[in-house]
Structure 1
Amino acid sequence: MSRPSNATGGRFSHWLVRMLRRLLLLVLAFVAGAVAMHVGMHGGDAQHMQMLEAQVAALQAERLQAQADRAADQSRAAIDSGTLRSLQEKTAELQEALGQTQDQLAFYEQLIPPGPAGSVAIRAFEIAAEGEFLSYRVLLTRNARPDAAEFKGRLRFVAHGMQDGKPVKMVLLPPGAPDSAAPAAHADPLALDFRQFQRSTGLLQAVPGQSIDTVQLEILEGDTVRAAQEAPVAQNGTQP
Structure 2
Amino acid sequence: MTVRRLILRGLGLILALLLVFVAGALVMHFGMHRGQHQQILDLQARVDTLRMTEAETNARLAGLQGQLDVELATRRTLEDTLARQQQELGRTRDQLAFYEQLIPPGPAGAVAIRAFDIRRQGDFLHYRVLLTRNAPGQEAFRGRMRFMADALKDGNPVKIELSAATAVAAPPSEIAAPGVGADPFSLVFEQFQRSTGVLRLPPGVAIRSVNLEVLEDGVIRATRDATIVDAAPEGSAPGVTP
| Length-normalised TM-score, structure 1 | 0.65
Helix, strand or coil at the partner of 1:74:
helix
How do 1:115-130 residues align onto structure 2 when only pairs under 5 Å count?
Answer: 115-130=106-121
Task: Work out whether 1:225 is the aligned partner of 2:216.
Answer: no
CA deviation digits over 1:24-56, x for unaligned, max 9? xxxxxxxxxxxxx99x649xxxxxx9xx99997
- Measure the CA separation in 1 of the matches of 2:52 and 2:184: 75
State the one-letter code of the partner of 2:64: D
State the one-letter code of the partner of 1:193: V
Task: Work out whether 1:101 is the aligned partner of 2:112.
Answer: no
For the Cα contact (< 8 Å) 2:104–2:112, is it kept in 1?
yes
For the Cα contact (< 8 Å) 2:111–2:221, is it kept in 1?
yes
For the Cα contact (< 8 Å) 1:120–1:141, is it kept in 2?
yes
Higher-Rg member (1/2): 2
CA deviation digits over 1:79-124, x for unaligned, max 9? 1112112212221222222222222222222222222211111121
Match of 2:194 in 1: 199
Task: Work out whether 1:77 is the aligned partner of 2:72.
Answer: no
Match of 1:33 in 2: none
How do 1:42-191 residues align onto structure 2 when only pairs under 5 Å count?
Answer: 60=51, 63-145=54-136, 147-168=137-158, 169-175=160-166, 185-191=180-186
State the one-letter code of the partner of 1:110: Q
Number of residue pairs matched? Answer: 193
| Length-normalised TM-score, structure 2 | 0.65
CA deviation digits over 1:167-213, x for unaligned, max 9? 4412221339xxxxxxx953544222222222222222222443221
1:233 Cα deviation from its structure 2 partner:
0.7
- Measure the CA separation in 2 of the matches of 1:197 and 1:87: 35
1:151 Cα deviation from its structure 2 partner:
0.8
**Where do 5+ consecutive residues of structure 1 fail to align?**
1-36, 43-48, 177-183
Q: 1:188 to 1:66 in 2, by over 3 A?
A: farther
For the Cα contact (< 8 Å) 2:164–2:184, is it kept in 1?
no
Match of 1:9 in 2: none
The sequence identity of aligned pairs, in percent, is 45
State the one-letter code of the partner of 1:124: A
State the one-letter code of the partner of 2:192: F
Mean Cα displacement is larger for which, 82-91 or 107-116? 107-116
Helix, strand or coil at the partner of 2:166:
coil
For the Cα contact (< 8 Å) 2:164–2:197, is it kept in 1?
no
**Where do 5+ consecutive residues of structure 2 fail to align?**
1-29, 36-40, 168-178, 233-237
Q: 1:188 to 1:75 in 2, by over 3 A?
A: farther
- Measure the CA separation in 1 of the matches of 2:203 and 2:56: 87
Helix, strand or coil at the partner of 1:174:
strand
1:166 Cα deviation from its structure 2 partner:
4.5
CA deviation digits over 1:135-178, x for unaligned, max 9? 11112121221x221111112212222345454412221339xx
